[in-house]
Amino acid sequence: MGNRAEEAKQNQEENNGNMAIETPIIPLLTPYNMGSLNLSHRVVLAPLTRQRSYNNVPQPHAILYYSQRTTKGGLLIAEATGVSDTAQGYPDTPGIWTKEQVEAWKPIVDAVHAKGGIFFCQIGHVGRVSNQVGEKSECPHSLLPMRKAFKGTFLVAGGYDREDGNKAIAEGRADLVVYGRLFLANPDLPRRFEFNAPLNKYNRETFYVSDPVVGYTDYPFLDTSSYVTKKKH
Ligand SMILES: Cc1cc2nc3c(=O)[nH]c(=O)nc-3n(C[C@H](O)[C@H](O)[C@H](O)COP(=O)(O)O)c2cc1C
């Protein structure tokens, strides 16, 4: 029996016959230092407008939504957030220009921080969002000259799956990979990538409905009982 087979067998025995699925450390799950911020992995939550901030005030249900998607050392980019009432392109998108809005963000930010997440706010105008949602149209290699010229942290987004993301990192084409629809539908996306587990399918119909739960915090987590994390040496 080869070494790998031996190891797999041993793993299986250690787990009392549970299906021990080998999970090698993949490029997406390697740490990255972004300036003074130490990220534990490279799977980033994309800014996702969800239109559930009634009258532009962030709501308590966003606490659960964002904390579901938080991992220790993971980076999250909050949905587009308006800085004035003229910057709001869509109804029920959050703002950060009144005291009430600022106060309403606090428990959300606190919940992300409590789980060790790093939370960025996307400030700006949401009018361009609809143009951004689409399949990956650009060959990622065309970003290479930009990548080489740019000294900061380079993030890529748009149609990436586990395999594309791993390749982008392994080939040095990106430092971090931003996931939108897959993260929306898989609150535990980094974990699913770790185990190469199946993904929940996203439901477009509920992207922007105002329900505080449906299509928002009700995407199921992976049942990890049959998966075993590879020990880090
Ligand atoms: C429901 C939804 C809302 C989005 N809202 C924003 C947003 O607020 N700001 C932004 O820059 N991009 C927004 N996007 C674009 C995503 O951040 C991301 O770039 C896009 O979904 C492509 O990545 P993906 O293929 O992994 O989904 C949104 C996308 C979706 C699906």
Residue 4 alpha carbon to ligand 1 centre in Å: 41
Mutate to test the pocket of ligand 1, among 42, 66, 133 (most ligand atoms within 8 A of CB): 133
The pLDDT-based confidence of 129 (bands split at 50, 70, 90) is very low
Mean per-residue pLDDT, 106-115: 98
Q: Is the pLDDT of residue 57 over 90?
A: yes
What are the chain's domains? 26-220 (3.20.20.70)
Provide mean pLDDT across the span 19-48. 90
Per-residue pLDDT at 9:
44
Whether residue 11 is predicted with pLDDT greater than 80 in this model: the reply is no
Say if residues 48 and 66 touch (Cβ distance below 8 Å): no
% of the chain at pLDDT higher than 70 = 81
57 within 8 A of 100, measured Cβ to Cβ: yes
Tell me how far the alpha carbon of residue 23 lies from the centroid of ligand 1, in angstroms.
29
Residue-wise pLDDT for 85-110, tens only, equals 877 778 999 999 999 999 999 999 99
Q: Give residue 25's pLDDT.
A: 92
User: In sequence order, what are the beta bridge partners of 75?
Assistant: 118
What spacing in Å lies between the alpha carbon of 45 and ligand 1's midpoint? 10
Q: Ligand 1: which of 43, 48, 93, 207 to mutate, judged by most atoms within 8 Å of the beta carbon?
A: 48
Q: Is there a contact between 29 and 41 (Cβ–Cβ < 8 Å)?
A: yes
**Residue whose CA is closest, atom 10 of ligand 1?**
47
Residue nearest (by alpha carbon) to ligand 1 atom 25:
159
Contacts of 26 (CB under 8 A, 6+ apart): 162, 166, 193, 194
**Mean pLDDT across the stretch 125-130?**
50
Tokens coding 193: 């990538």
Residues 105 and 57: their CA atoms lie apart, in Å, by 8
Q: Give the mean pLDDT of 152-175.
A: 97
pLDDT tens figures, 171-196: 999 999 999 999 999 999 999 999 99
CB 125 within 8 A of CB 89: yes
- Spell out which residues line ligand 1, taking CB within 6 angstroms: 46-49, 79-80, 122, 126, 129, 132-133, 157-160, 179-182, 207
